A and B are shown apart, each in its own frame.
Chain A
């Protein structure tokens, strides 16, 4: 089940859970913790998961070594009951929960792929919107010119 306020994000998460059998649940969110899409049916749970992931990232950012200026990009927390993965890019973060002892590299790869797909789709959408706006402006300009010549 994929709850998706935005279709692209929902599709990216659906693809993620389809290709990665190890991932139980996943949530895609903005950096402030607002949920973009999730595989959790309950919105409250998805929100709690996203907010927890933001908090985990924030706390993990504090462990940066002295003089380290590199940004934090991903976290894996392994507990007795399962593992939590959080990966972030410039705009979003994706958090996933797996059972104990997952294949860490594979899960990270799948989460990064999910973020990349989303980024690519958003870029394509933005590019399409720019083209449409340019076309509209050109048409309007032509109409204005034609009206001017007619008068």
Chain B
């Protein structure tokens, strides 16, 4: 009985850990989304999702990715 609960606890703990890792990885990947625009004088503008320009450019980038990967 005690052995069963230990195994159950381990399975539950592993599942929770895996879920946490997946959550953090997905979140950090989503947070990494951006568009960096570079100009001739060396200046750069970084656009994040949520900004008007970022939300306009990211779907275009996704379309290029989709076209490339088919």
Q: Which chain A residues have a beta carbon within 8 Å of chain B's beta carbons?
A: 24-25, 27, 40, 42, 45, 48-49, 52-53, 55-56, 59-60, 62-65, 68, 70-82, 84, 95, 97, 100-101, 104
Contacts of B45 in A (CB 8 A): 63-65
Q: For the side of the interface on B, what is the size category?
A: 20 to 34
The reply to whether B65 and A71 form a contact with Cβ atoms under 8 Å apart is no
B40 lies within 8 A of A76 (CB): no
Which one, B38, B39, B41, B61, contacts A79 given CB within 8 A? B61
- Given A62-B53, A64-B39, A70-B39, are A79 and B58 also a contact pair (CB < 8 Å)? yes
Give bound CA distance, A60 to B67, whole Å.
19
- The yes or no answer to B64 lying at the interface (CB within 8 A) is yes
A45 near B57: Cβ-Cβ < 8 Å: no
20 further A-B contacts with Cβ under 8 Å, apart from A48-B63, A59-B53, are A24-B69, A40-B68, A42-B70, A45-B67, A49-B68, A52-B63, A53-B64, A56-B57, A56-B64, A60-B35, A72-B38, A72-B40, A73-B38, A80-B30, A81-B62, A97-B68, A97-B69, A100-B29, A100-B32, A104-B36
Residue B1 CB within 8 A of the other chain: no
